[in-house]
Amino acid sequence: MKPTQFEVLFFLVLFSTLMLFGGMYLLAKFNRLFKRIRSEFLRKNIVVWMIAICLITATAPTTPDFYGSFLGNKLKIFYPFEWFAATFDSIFVFNISWLVVKYLSRKNLSFRKRMAIILFTIITCSMLTSVPINYLGNKYLGDGASFKNLHVSLLFNFYTGCMIGLIYITMSYVDLARKRKLDEKELEVAKLQQLKAKAELDALHSKVNPHFLYNALNSIADLAVTDGKRARKMTIALADLFRYSINYSDHNYSTIKEEIDMTEVYLEIEKIRFEDQLNYSIQLDQDLSPYLVPRFLLQPVVENAVKHGLKTTGKMTEINITVKNGSDGLQIMVADNGPAFPDELIPGYGVKSMYDKLDLLFPGNYEVHFINHPEKKVTMNIHKLMKNEPAV
Amino acid sequence: MNQLFKTIVIDDEPAARRLMKNLLEEHSDVVEVISEASNGREAIEKIGKLRPDLIFLDIQMPDLTGFEVIEQLDEKPNIIFTTAYEQYAIKAFETFSIDYLLKPIKEERLAQSIEKLKKFGRFNQSIDVNGLQEIIRQFQAPKKATALPIKTGDRINLIRFENIAYLEAQDKYVCVFTIEGQKYLTDQSLTVLAEKLPPVFCRIHRSYIINKEKIREMHRHFSGRYLFIMDDKTSTRLTSGRTYQDIFRSEFGL
């Protein structure tokens, strides 16, 4: 039994509708569906080709040729011809446009200019394809006359090109907007991180051990009566130390000279506090004086050394600070003669603050070692140095 | 009539001891300073020998804390703590000390302590040792470790937990990999190291411990295994082992 014309038509329209949905689905999901194909070139061509086939099939019933072929019983030629045309068009237009997009992405053009060039490319390519397709179409579907109705075909393809181009531009624009938003967010995160880093540093700056202050004041309370000169010396030293730690919290860096000076002030105070139990020496390579280190890097480390040194009672505590140019950058060594570092070293406030400051200001650019032999010491190596005032 | 409290002043700072002795001269009708000590060990020795009725005890001394000194005494005298640490000024002190004085020491405050001593001070008193140990436990609470010490020869490197991406057992050694891609070797076993690491570390394989906070991606792999892509410089890929599946599954809530 032969189907009626209406039944054939109905079937074709149904088929076209299914292809339309298929094409849309592919368009939405192609990224996930085809990720197995590693080569980008191959993957994109296959996707574009499949979508083109789907959409051409879907739109076939809307073209005038369809009815001509349908009425002239030429559908058997019409569909393969349409598929062939879709294959040819899509591969040709897509690859040329793709090359242009690739080329443009390397040039630093504004979004508008880039989009204009791409639109132009797509339209031109699309119109160019209409020449051979028109020729072949006339030969197989029409009456064989070469280039009959070429102007119509050109106009039609101009229109199609415009449409594809505009879809591309819309998608690019959405992409651009999303990227901008993402960039903004990233910038915000970066800003927050910077703020956090600053807050952390601020917190670190102001932390001269408060007990140190109270203990020192307690000593002054005695010295004021027993030894006025030393009381005065200690008061001035204390003032210097706190001025250094409180007033300059805007600066994250200090010169090595400043740090050493302050460490010396600190050690002077400790020396008065512990009278005959503490001695210190500082060796500073003068060439290094102007280089920058995190502000208040040294004091907590030296305070630790003093504490550890005093642990061994009945013996003079010797603190030895050396700053020199090592084989890989600046080397700061703080040695004391207290008991050795235990293997299971647990960092306290001083060590943590040292790491935090170096992490914030010299990330990935420093090393810290705890050494027991031949001398018990902490060494800090800073590889890349900055001189004087940087842009902080 | 009034018995004098024989007293030892214990403080690591000479000036602080001197100050205390000077201030106590005002109270020579109650207190007699018989000696002084500059560190914990000296204090224990002198208290044992001289059997004072009262000690002024600094809490923070380099060798021993004041609490540790008391713990080691057979016979406890009356105690007045002297400290710069405000956080030690807690009620619990009152259970076994007469008073505590904050540095710098105020004369009026000292006079109050002496009044208290006259009222409550006992000769040959005994102390609630359990309460004391509780306080020592509180204040000597082990510092929370924040880094893994790795000994290489004479050096100790501290690798902070937040910088460790993962640990890998190789033959006799364990390599600790940082997020920067640095590698540290240690001869401690993975099991020993696991005990030193905080809960953010998780064993996923016989040879791997990873930092849960440094995972960038997790993918399902064959036969219930998982592939972890670490958030380090080289985006290291690690696969979980079947025996550790249950452990890390429960940890990740899978």
User: CB of A391 within 8 Å of any CB in chain B?
Assistant: no
**Among B10, B11, B13, B187, the residue to mutate for chain A (most A Cβ within 10 A):** B13
Q: Nearest chain B Cα to A370, which residue?
A: B156
Q: How far is CA A195 from CA A191, A199, A202, A363, in A?
A: 6, 6, 10, 16
Nearest to B154 among A313, A348, A373 (CB): A373
Query: Residue A373 pLDDT more than 90?
Result: no
Is position A201 within any domain?
A: no
Chain B hits for A311, Cβ within 8 Å? 62-63
Query: Residues A211, A185: one domain?
Result: no
User: What is the share, in percent, of chain B residues with pLDDT greater than 70?
Assistant: 86
Query: What CATH number did the domain enclosing A240 receive?
Result: 3.30.565.10
Average pLDDT over residues A147-168: 85
Short-list A217, A210, A121, CA closest to A161: A121
Tell me the shortest Cα–Cα distance from B252 to chain A, in angstroms. 27
How would you list the strands of the sheet with B54-58, edge to edge?
Answer: B31-37, B5-10, B54-58, B78-83, B99-102
pLDDT tops 90 at residue A283: yes
A154 and A301: one domain?
no
pLDDT class for A235, splitting at 50, 70, 90? very high
The residue whose two tokens read 């349908």 is: A70
pLDDT at B143: 64
Is there a single domain that holds both residue A75 and residue A10?
A: yes
For residue A376, give its domain range: 206-382
B253 CB within 8 Å of a chain A CB: no
Tokens of B236: 């290291």
* Chain segment B137-159, per-residue pLDDT in tens: 666 655 677 889 888 777 888 89
Predicted local distance difference test score (pLDDT) of residue A223: 93
Domain B147-252: what homologous superfamily? Answer: LytTr DNA-binding domain (2.40.50.1020)
Same domain? For A255 and A171 the reply is no
Q: What pLDDT is recorded for position B87?
A: 66
* Closest in A219, A345, A348 to B156, CB measured: A345
Residue of A nearest to B62 (CA): A311
CB contact under 8 A, B103 and A369: no
Q: Could you tell me if the ipTM is greater than 0.85? A: no
* Pairwise CA distance, residues B180 & A10, whole Å: 66
Q: pLDDT tier at A39 (50, 70, 90 boundaries)?
A: confident
Report pLDDT for A219.
Answer: 93
Tens of pLDDT, residue by residue over B179-206, are 988 888 888 889 889 888 998 899 989 8
Of A218, A351, A371, Cβ closest to residue B105: A218
Domain boundaries, chain B: 5-139, 147-252
| pLDDT at residue A120 is higher than 60 | yes
Closest chain A CA to residue B40: A313
CB-based contact B13 A273, cutoff 8 Å: yes
* CB count in 10 Å sphere of residue B131: 14
A65 shares its domain with A187: yes
**Are A232 and A184 part of one and the same domain?**
no
In this prediction, residue B173 carries a pLDDT of: 87
The per-residue pLDDT for range B77-101, each reduced to its tens digit, is 888 988 887 765 555 566 567 888 8
A57 pLDDT higher than 90: no
Question: Is residue A200 situated within a structural domain?
Answer: no
Range B122-130 average pLDDT: 60
The pLDDT assigned to A247 comes to: 66
- Domain stop point among A159, A191, A223: A191
Q: Which of B12, B18, B151 sits opposite A343 (nearest CB)?
A: B151
Q: Is the pLDDT of residue A225 over 80?
A: yes
Question: What digits encode the pLDDT tens for the residues B4-53?
Answer: 899 999 999 999 999 999 999 999 999 999 999 999 999 999 999 999 99
Q: How far apart are CA A247 and CA A235, in angstroms?
A: 17
| Residues A128, A271 within the same domain | no
Separation CA B26–CA A250 (nearest Å): 48
> What is the residue whose two structure tokens read 């008061």?
A235
Mutation pick from A212, A218, A357, A367 vs chain B, by most beta carbons of B within 10 Å, is A218
A302 and A184 share one domain: no
For A100-114, the pLDDT digits (tens) are: 988 888 888 888 888
- Say what the pLDDT of residue A12 is: 85
Domain identity same for A228 and A350: yes
Mutate to test the interface with B, among A304, A345, A353 (most CBs of B within 10 A): A345
Q: Which residue has the tokens 């006339």?
A: A138
Residue B59 banded pLDDT, cuts 50, 70, 90: confident
Per-residue model confidence (pLDDT) at position A280: 95
What single string gives the DSSP state of each residue in B171-232? Answer: TTEEEEEETTS-EEEE-S-HHHHHHHS-TTEEEEETTEEEEGGGEEEEEE-GGG-EEEEESS
**Cross-chain residue pair A307–B62, CB shorter than 8 Å:** yes
**What is the domain count for chain A?**
2
Burial A377-387 (b: 16+ CB within 10 A, else e): bbbbbbeebee
The residue written with tokens 């599946």 in the block is B245
Q: CA Rg, chain B, in Å?
A: 28
Is residue A194 a contact partner of residue A143, using CB atoms and an 8 Å limit? no
Question: Please, which pLDDT band fits residue A390 given cuts at 50, 70 and 90?
Answer: very low
* Residue indicated by tokens 């710069």: B84
pLDDT for position B1: 42
**Six-digit token pair at A39?**
């080569």
pLDDT for the residue B97: 77
pLDDT of B75 reads: 81
Q: What is the CATH number of domain B5-139?
A: 3.40.50.2300
Per residue in A339-363, pLDDT (tens digit) is: 888 888 888 878 888 888 888 888 8
- For residue A147, what pLDDT band results from cuts at 50, 70 and 90? confident
**A215 contact B CB<8A:** yes
* Cβ-contact A329, A383 below 8 angstroms: yes
- Of A144, A164, A191, which marks where a domain is finished? A191
Has residue A160 got a pLDDT over 90? no
Average pLDDT, chain A: 85
In the stretch 184-213 of chain B, residues with CB closer than 8 A to chain A read 196
A377 belongs to a structural domain: yes
Which of A51-60, A92-101, A192-201, A237-246 is predicted least confidently?
Answer: A192-201
The DSSP-derived string for B82-150 is EES-GGG--GGGGGT-SEEEESSPPHHHHHHHHHHHHHH--TT----HHHHHHHHHHHT-PPPP-EEEE
Give percent of chain A above pLDDT 70.
94
Q: Judge contact between B77 and B53, C-beta under 8 A.
A: yes
- Please write down the long-range contacts of B108-115, taking CB distance under 8 Å and 24 or more positions apart: B110/B23, B110/B24, B110/B27, B111/B26, B111/B27, B113/B80, B114/B27, B114/B30, B114/B31
Average pLDDT over residues A39-62: 85
Answer yes or no: are the C-beta atoms of A160 and A124 closer than 8 Å.
Answer: no
Quick check: B143 and A274 CB within 8 A? Answer: no
| Per-residue pLDDT tens digits for B223-245 | 778 889 998 888 899 988 888 87
Query: Cβ contact (<8 Å) for B158 and A347?
Result: yes
Interchain pair A273, B15: CB under 8 A: yes
Same domain, yes or no: A117 and A152: yes
pTM: 0.65
The alpha-carbon gap from A33 to the nearest alpha carbon of chain B, in Å, equals 18
The pLDDT assigned to B62 comes to 84
